[in-house]
């Protein structure tokens, strides 16, 4: 009886050692992969990726995108509708200056 238990315990210990070695090898591969990824992406600038992921941040990004698109369409229409450079520049400057005002008026907090 004791001999059987000793054999089963030895088998369990051997299986546990094999599983521990597999976990250690996987952890080592993961560390090497993460180090390689860090080395490859360290020179790429990170523009706030992962910092702002809430519902309010998503809403603000969508609102800014919509407003910039509207102003861009306005500038494109002005560019093709008028041949006068002063009008084109005036609309461009006005849209750049009115962006914060329009953002405040159109999208209240």
Residue 8: per-residue pLDDT: 92
* DSSP conformation letters of the chain: -HHHHHHHHHHHHHHHHHHHHHHHHHHHHHHHHHHHHHHHHTTS---STTT--SHHHHHHHHHHHHHHHHHHHHHHHHHHH---HHHHHHHHHHHHHHHHHHHHHHS--
Residue 58: the pLDDT is 85
Q: Which residues of the chain have pLDDT under 70?
A: 47-52
pLDDT computed for residue 88 by the predictor? 95
Q: The whole model's pTM is what? A: 0.52
Q: What is the largest CA-CA distance in the chain?
A: 101
The reported pLDDT for the residue numbered 44 is 80
């Amino acid at each position: 009886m004791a001999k059987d238990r000793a054999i089963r315990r030895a088998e369990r210990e051997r299986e546990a050692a094999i599983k521990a070695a597999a976990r250690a090898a996987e952890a080592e591969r993961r560390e090497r992969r993460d180090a390689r990824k860090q080395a490859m992406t360290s020179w790429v600038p990170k523009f706030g990726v992962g910092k702002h992921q809430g519902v309010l941040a998503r809403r603000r990004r969508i609102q800014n995108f919509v407003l910039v698109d509207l102003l861009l369409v306005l500038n494109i229409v002005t560019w093709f509708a008028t041949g006068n450079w002063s009008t084109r520049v005036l609309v461009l400057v006005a849209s750049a200056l009115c962006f914060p005002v329009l953002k405040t008026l159109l999208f209240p907090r």
